[in-house]
Chains A and B, each alone.
Chain A
């Protein structure tokens, strides 16, 4: 049987969820027996191939137009899309800024912070991604098939979900595998 193909990508995120994936330790050898990792932020190939993959994993929330494009591309190319981590699932810590206007946030971040050099400006180059006024969870933008919350999700949750999927079952997170912090 051909290996299951997997692509992962990250959006507005601290990268902790990918660290948690690497935290499955020696199981990563076992994982690679069954799964072919086509692309991820921590390997050479960053983008899911046009011909698609079986499983796509997204971590992080959607805070700008670039991230929305990444999320949409992953959705188009993956048969099963999993959002991993509180940011992808709920919006998470990135949504702290949703309680403020975007301009207030930029003003605070680039002008008013105690460490800002005098004369600093808010970067507004057309080449950088455009921040959305509200940070969104992945499932507010594209359809998501499975949610694994956690900040980050324990490596055990990720390993459980992957092995359940490989066994052809829908993973149901319970007890210590379901966590929001």
Chain B
């Protein structure tokens, strides 16, 4: 269809025929307030804040849902429009508890911003004061129904973006409430605590426990960085105040996650219970004790020099740290998390284009396992009718989204179906690489997405550390661990038997029993560098905060100088 001409506040713009008035206003550079609308969501016209006057139309229309037509003339700031918006704002404020002075979101609240913008000095209507519950049954964030304006952004985010469809509504009119599943506590529901709803919430209804009351918009800085906790490498914004990361949000502009992050990325490090390594630790009389940097590095160098040593690098290290290890440290280099699975990975975006997904014996909803990738699978199953086939003998978090679930031994049944698909996608990780290869060999049209273990295993491979750890009987080890928590038992056994073990780690666990020396390592919030995700894209890691401890690279260089 040809573009249509629309005049908005005197500006003439040409926009595609299927645009809404809001889309056209954005093209014309005219600001229309949005409350329930969000760029990542389909508009529903719930809040009526974007009402505009369209000539030859009897009533005001919401710009977010009203389609443009040829020759349409729109006024976005007429007296009728501004009066209607002020009326809508007053209704919203009168409904529940929207007293800003004791709300943690004051200063970062879209509702409040709009009220300021519209010069709302008081409310003309009586307030309802309904007694609404607060649901604090989830570990990381709280739902306060008193602050809810029923814009349904959370519900739509959970459904359209995450594909989880945990949230819904009950009752009608003023009694309407956001509920989880069949109205059970949020903490007992099918919620996966990804926090997308919270990031979407325009008011104080969804509140992060860790960062509540810790900083409003003008008190914080947003540092765009990457989550390096798994190989999806989601784009995040570190919310920083006073040299402290108080919250992590998904970056709406970032590929491949487009604003979504998982529970691990959003809350993992901020709620980490393991003890940080803040000073170098050296084992003396069987126990780790604080040491100064020179002594600890000297001790590590002596231990590593005295025997045939190997270096084990985790995928939580930046590419620069891995490069430094290759350049500066002697001995064989091995990857802690395992092997990079293949070199021919499709981008995650194919999950939103495919018509059939085979999940080959991997649970994308547990641990550090690429949980973000489960979102496009779930939303594809929910909204595009994509057939999801699980090949798994165990219970899998995607069970409820799967059309078929068979044992990996019955892979030929999946092949049979996938042969007729336009573009089947096979998703797997290092443990199911053989199965995926077997499937791909029989499906020439198939695209594969193999998840590299840990955050930056692909980056390690780029600098030549591609061999997975194998116990070749070394008697001394240097482990560049970073945040690593899940460590292969084979490695722990080898370390326990070795004569000397030095570890560069962010946390004491799981190293304190096997390490002779532990050198502090920054966590992802604290380091600059780069990483390569499982799709092969390079991303920049940016430190949200500064520390007085030396960087990953500096520690490796100082140690290397002693060897």
Contacts and interface: CB of A to CB of B under 8 A. Distances in A.
Contacts of B119: 172-174, 178
Interface string A48-77: 000000000000000000000000000000
A89 B129 contact: no
A107 interface: no
A93 interface: yes
Interface in B125-149: 126-127, 129-131, 146
A147 B121 contact: yes
Interface centre among A89, A91, A147, A178 (most CB of B within 10 A): A178
Given A90-B123, A147-B121, 18 more contacts: A86-B100, A92-B99, A95-B127, A96-B102, A98-B129, A99-B129, A99-B131, A100-B131, A137-B123, A140-B126, A151-B100, A172-B119, A173-B119, A173-B121, A174-B119, A180-B116, A181-B103, A181-B107
A149 interface: yes
A149 B106 contact: no
Given A93-B99, A93-B101, A178 B116 contact: yes
Interface centre among B103, B116, B126 (most CB of A within 10 A): B116
A151 B101 contact: yes
Nearest to B146: A99
A148 interface: yes
A163 interface: no
Contacts, number: 62
A181 B122 contact: no
Nearest to B131: A99
A139 interface: yes
A144 B126 CA distance: 15
Given A89-B121, A147-B122, A172-B119, A134 B129 contact: yes
A87 B27 CA distance: 42
B99 A91 contact: yes
Given A98-B129, A99-B129, A180 B122 contact: no
Contact of B97 (A99, A147, A174): A99
A92 B106 CA distance: 14
Contacts of A180: 99-101, 106, 112, 115-116
Contacts of B116: 178-180
Given A86-B99, A86-B101, A93-B102, A149 B122 contact: yes
Interface in A84-143: 86, 89-93, 95-96, 98-100, 134, 137, 139-140
Q: Which 6 A-B pairs have the closest CB atoms?
A: A151-B101, A180-B100, A147-B122, A147-B121, A98-B129, A181-B106
A129 to B, nearest CB: 21
Contacts of B99: 86, 90-93, 95-96, 180
A147 B146 CA distance: 25
B121 A149 contact: yes
Interface residues of B, number: 21
Contacts of B103: 181
A100 B99 CA distance: 16
Contacts of B127: 91, 95, 98
A93 to B, nearest CB: 6
Interface of B: 97, 99-103, 106-107, 112, 115-116, 119, 121-123, 126-127, 129-131, 146
Contacts of A174: 119
What secondary structure prevails in chain B residues at the interface with A?
loop
Nearest to A173: B121
B101 A95 contact: no
Nearest to A97: B129
Nearest to A140: B126
A136 B112 CA distance: 21
Nearest to A91: B127
Interface centre among B103, B116, B121 (most CB of A within 10 A): B121
Nearest to B97: A99
A83 B121 CA distance: 10
19 contacts: A86-B99, A86-B100, A90-B99, A90-B122, A91-B127, A93-B102, A96-B99, A98-B127, A99-B97, A99-B130, A134-B129, A139-B122, A149-B121, A151-B100, A178-B121, A180-B99, A180-B100, A180-B101, A181-B107
A123 to B, nearest CB: 25
Interface string A147-172: 11101000000000000000000001
Contacts of B102: 93, 96
Contacts of A140: 126
Nearest to A179: B116
Contacts of B115: 180
A172 B115 CA distance: 14
B534 to A, nearest CB: 45
Contacts of A92: 99, 101
B98 to A, nearest CB: 9
Contacts of A147: 121-122
Nearest to B94: A90
A86 B119 CA distance: 15
A37 to B, nearest CB: 24
Contacts of B129: 95, 98-99, 134
Contacts of A90: 99, 122-123
Contacts of A99: 97, 129-131, 146
A96 B123 CA distance: 17
Contacts of A83: 122
Nearest to B103: A181
